[in-house]
Amino acid sequence: MDRKNKIWYKNAVFYELYVRAFFDSNNDGHGDLRGMTQKLDYLQDLGIDCLWIMPIYPSPLKDDGYDIADYYQILPEYGILDDFKALIDEVHAREMRLIVDLVLNHTSDQHPWFQAARSDKESPYRDYYVWSDTSYKYGDARIIFLDTETSNWTWDEVAGQYYWHRFYSSQPDLNYDNPRVQEEMIKVMQYWLDLGVDGFRADAVPYLFEREGTNCENLPETHAFIKRVRNFLDQNYPGRILLAEANQWPEDVRAYFGDGDEFHMGFHFPVMPRIFMALRKGDRTPIKSILDRTPEIPENCQWCTFLRNHDELTLEMVTEEEREWMWKEYAPDVRMRLNLGIRRRLAPLLDNDQRKIELAYSLLFTLPGSPIIYYGDEIGMGDDVELPDRNGVRTPMQWDSDINAGFSGTDASLLYSPIITHEQYNPQQVSVIKQISLSNSLYNRIRKMIQIRKGMHIFSRGSLEWVEAIPDALAAYWRKNDSEKVLVINNLSNTKQNVIIQVDEPFENIWVELLTERSYESKGGKMRVELEPFEYMWFKNLI
Ligand code: TEU
Ligand code: CA
């Protein structure tokens, strides 16, 4: 693999997968590392450059592995360390990369550190965590898991004190004011980097430090620590990346790029709900306004853009009224709501209308940033709101219509989660094998978009210039760099749109629409285009 390419992430297409949900190689009902390894050809064929896998470490699984009980092992159901090494080798043999989830902010309460800390005030591990005799400190910090937690403090009978936790009470926060905690985390990173990972997705990074009188998010101390981590990476592992899960407003995420000396990448959380707003309103304004508000980032940095992920579709970075509107439009059944979000997958959110789903991907793949696909969304998988928490968007990958959707050969009662049975989304309707076989399937359209992207770096790093003097229903923009330019037009509405676009080429010009390979003429600098409802077109100038 081209280890010399230090900025590979600027144009990569990412894919988020949940090992437990992907493929069960030993028929115990849980997906595992060997199973994932057996499916790498599928991911390579889709055109994926880099995989992000959710936590694979020992855990009581009260938060699907985001509650880590040992940073140096593999959860037994997923396999052993040799399986991980084999996975890494197979990923790299395919010129692909893999980053792992690094849950810095907290551990599981089952972690030996916490067990030692709570049982002895004198333990060297006591101040690995944040303790208090009262539950009033840091009162300005919001509760994130609103549906389940009533406080960020929980009394621990054994310890005789309260401990701080920004998420479930079974996830005590680590105390980053303790230099030993910082050392421990850098040691953990070194361990996995030496095993060959290409970087980390840093979980819940805004919450690492706490300070009285602040909201305990995005504190300067956190940025100082990230700079330390980035320096460590640059000195010892050039080419490996840090991807920030900082669910914040654009200007606050901008700070996580520092001067190009903090995170290489950061998820662009705020644009995500606005893609859904724009689609529902048939109006580009929500997308354009948040991108207009998004600051420039250092040359060696990149946004990671997404439609959905393993969590709820978060509505934390919208106004109260936007949230109410989104819930009314996209989560009419209150069971679809979780915390400040919506726990549904992409296809059900978009009425299982392939035109709309493709259009969402056209926006994802042509707006600035490196896009990430959530496993199963590429084949239009459904969800199950009957399942608790976010489990309904984490069901087994549907490979075919054989038993257990080809995910596992075990008895269905032993599966970690039921397979989707919904009449529109069950494996007879939705499966990898079916999607691959149908030439106009969602999968094949996404695969085509990825192929086009890979050949043209303009989509990830070119400039973004909106076409304005056209109906709001059209999200049309130029992507330009010094060698090429592309005109993207997305019809966000369910009505046909006729538009004349100023292409500012003085002479007659031939344009090719990249997805259909149809050619179009512009005359006197103007091109007439007609778009069906939810149709999208990507034009490249042929002259
Ligand atoms: O989520 C961190 C976080 O801030 C969440 O509230 C997120 O903003 C929200 O769920 C919408 O995306 C991370 C993981 O993604 C999540 O799965 C874990 O439960 C959480 O951290 C605790 O580790
Ligand atoms: Ca913290």
Residue to mutate (ligand 1; options 66, 217, 326; most atoms within 8 A of CB)? 66
Do the beta carbons of residue 541 and residue 499 sit within 8 Å?
Answer: no
pLDDT tens profile 306-320: 999 999 999 999 999
Cα four-point dihedral sign 306, 307, 310, 314: positive
- Which candidate, 371, 318, 372, places its Cα nearest to that of 342? 318
Question: Tens of pLDDT along 309-348?
Answer: 999 999 999 999 999 999 999 999 999 999 999 999 999 9
What ligand has the least distance to the C-alpha of 129?
2
On whether the CB atoms of residues 339 and 145 are closer than 8 A, the answer is yes
C-alpha–C-alpha distance, residues 31 and 343, integer Å: 22
Q: Is the pLDDT score of 3 beyond 80?
A: no
Q: What is the DSSP letter of 293?
A: T
Give which of 227, 228, 208 is closest to 216, Cα–Cα: 208
Structure tokens at 256: 């996580």
Work out the average pLDDT over 78-85.
98
Ligand 1 atom with the shortest distance to the CA of 269: 12
User: CA–CA distance from 160 to each of 126, 167, 338 (Å)?
Assistant: 12, 21, 32
245 assigned to active site: yes
pLDDT at position 457: 84
pLDDT-derived band at 385 (thresholds 50, 70, 90) equals very high
DSSP per-residue letters across 193-214: HHTT--EEEETTGGGS---TTS
| Tokens representing residue 286 in the block | 């929500």
- Of all residues in the chain, what percent carry a pLDDT higher than 90? 94
Give residue 183 CA to ligand 2 midpoint distance, Å.
16
Q: Mapping DSSP to helix (H, G, I), strand (E, B) and coil, where does residue 132 land?
A: strand
pLDDT of residue 327: 98
State in Å: Cα 472 to ligand 2 middle. 42
What DSSP line would sit under 294-333, residue for residue?
Answer: SPP--TT-EEEEES--SS-EE-TTS-HHHHHHHHHHH--S
Q: What is the pLDDT of residues 194-226, one digit of tens each?
A: 999 999 999 999 999 999 999 999 999 999 999
Ligand 1 atom having least distance to the Cα of 314: 11
Residue nearest to atom 1 of ligand 1 (CA): 204
pLDDT at site 504: 77
pLDDT digits (tens, 9 = 90+) for 395-436: 999 999 999 999 999 999 999 999 999 999 999 999 999 999
| CA–CA distance, 525 with 523 (Å, rounded to integer) | 5
Q: How far apart are CA 187 and CA 182, in angstroms?
A: 9
The answer on pLDDT for 2 being more than 80 is no
Range 242-250 average pLDDT = 97
Residue 289 has pLDDT above 80, yes or no: yes
The residue whose C-alpha atom lies closest to atom 15 belonging to ligand 1 is: 311
User: What is the pLDDT confidence band of residue 5, given thresholds at 50, 70 and 90?
Assistant: confident
The one-letter amino acid at 432: V
Give CA angle at 196 (195, 199), nearest 5°: 115
For 146-169, write each residue's pLDDT tens digit.
Answer: 999 999 999 999 999 999 999 999
Residues in the chain: 543
Ligand 1 center to 163 CA (angstroms) = 19
Please give the distance, rounded to the nearest whole angstrom, from the Cα atom of residue 321 to the centre of ligand 2. Answer: 29
Choice among 203, 217, 283, 377 that is catalytic: 203
Model pLDDT, residue 460: 84
Average pLDDT over residues 99-105: 98
pLDDT tens digits for range 474-525: 999 999 998 889 999 999 999 999 999 999 776 778 999 999 999 999 998 9
